[in-house]
Chains A and B, each alone.
Chain A
Amino acid sequence: MSNLQSQDYIRISATTVTPPAARSWEDQVAKLIDVTRCIGCKACQAACMEWNNLRDEVGFFEGTYDNPLDLDPHTWTLMRFTEYENPKGDLEWLIRKDGCMHCEDPGCLNACPAPGAIVQYANGIVDFISENCIGCGYCVKGCPFNIPRISQADHKSYKCTLCSDRVAASLEPACVKACPTGAIMFGSKKDMTDWAGERVIDLKSRGFENAGLYDPPGVDGTHVMYVLHHADKPSIYAGLPDQPKISSTVEFWKGLLKPLALGSIAFGVVAGFVHWITAGPNEVQPEDEAEANHLLASKGRPTADPSRSIAEETP
């Protein structure tokens, strides 16, 4: 009945059972962001908002071209600009499209306590299923890239879906299609990796001796990868983690606590059912809200501070 050729689940949050990958022959997909051919035009941002029906508030100028200032439930991708003076003293304007990396081993999914709220399809896309999301914010903590954002309006977590709806209809994601300079490409992970290799050769011939592919092993690689001119220093690109990995707390939760916790979920099923039939679905209790707000307030936003001086970004 399904026409989602590439979209069978291979991982589901808060379950102990690994779903059978019914069509394991499917290619894994990847989005390759070639920072070196990006002109920072924000077509990707515009296309993302347009396709996904997202409109943030109109903000303010805050001393940066980063607009909006940070990812939020309406902003699933964002250009981050860094004025970088290289060791030779020449200016480079590093522009990186930020957004979900669709990790092969997703920290958000590992951390998520809500069954089925975060899934990973066989093609590698990590998707948030809003109706299952409880807005707890654990995905925010679990993400090594600081991507998910909790909506104050509906207390759900949001991020890039890699346009799973378009991919299921055999189309490239909206940002990929829009990108005027081909700085965002989409295809099988293998093709994207191969193409990145060609790009790196070209960049080295143009004097970027440390050019390379960013496909971090700490999360078993990602389905959104970068070509960087300075792959030896990812962090100069507006704080792209040098060596991202899932936090030890999440690893702990994943390895030990989660099976135990699922036991307690079984214990809670009766209570949950009672709650469901009396209060109805999708209702958040004040305590839950307070907890979610707490998580929201405590989450780190390393790149969100406009007062952060440019010098700090320069090694």
Chain B
Amino acid sequence: MDLTRRGFIKLTGASLATSSLSALGFGGSGAALAEAVRPFKLTHAKETRNTCTYCSVACGILIYTLGDGAKNARSDIIHIEGDPDHPVNRGTLCPKGSALLDIVHAPTRLQVPKYRAPGSSEFKEVSWDWALNRIARLMKDDRDKNFIAKNAQGTTVNRWLTTGMLAASASSSETSYLTWKVARSFGMLVFDNQARV
């Protein structure tokens, strides 16, 4: 330990730069000081119950948001932790669940619809309306051209095989049901989900 007198005096000098008088033990009103050191950050945050998005344990989570829901406050998620009431996780979370805040606020969260033209080496921003109109156009043209109403034996089969879909594994059952309705009403059969991987 390099405790030369010169070094020591300099260090005490630096310490005095921040708190000269408490140095001699005149201070020490501990509680008040400690409260100022680390205020509890969730005191008035709004709490919303949700389910972890990752695995099928389906841990209950509490999402804390800035703002009390007043009209002029835009809520922003500031913290997520386990729901202690949940019978399975009882408040615990794994390393993924404990870091949910970082997936919600990932810098690579997508913000706007983008389109990449054939042969292009970049995305460009487009409007929702443009994107959905274009998608519907491409899908309808493909369906009209390649829909199979009857097979070689003359059986009505009403299937569309040239456009397919993979469905999300973390979307709600309600989303899934709507997705099923839409995809099957088109006659889509190349239709799968993430159950396999």
Contacts and interface: CB of A to CB of B under 8 A. Distances in A.
**Chain A–chain B contact at Cβ < 8 A:** yes
A19 B94 contact: no
Contacts of B25: 12, 15-17, 115
B75 interface: no
Contacts of A174: 81
A91 interface: no
Interface in B41-73: 41-43
A78 B33 CA distance: 29
B91 interface: yes
Interface residues of A, number: 79
B99 interface: yes
B15 interface: yes
Contacts of B153: none
B16 interface: yes
B19 A50 contact: no
B7 A291 contact: yes
B10 interface: yes
B15 A115 contact: yes
B79 A51 contact: yes
B99 A129 contact: no
B113 interface: no
A288 interface: yes
A47 B81 contact: yes
Contacts of B31: 1-2, 4, 7-9, 22
A177 B17 contact: no
23 contacts: A7-B34, A8-B31, A12-B25, A15-B25, A19-B30, A47-B98, A51-B79, A114-B18, A114-B19, A116-B27, A129-B33, A134-B11, A134-B15, A168-B34, A249-B1, A262-B23, A269-B16, A272-B16, A279-B17, A288-B10, A288-B14, A291-B10, A298-B2
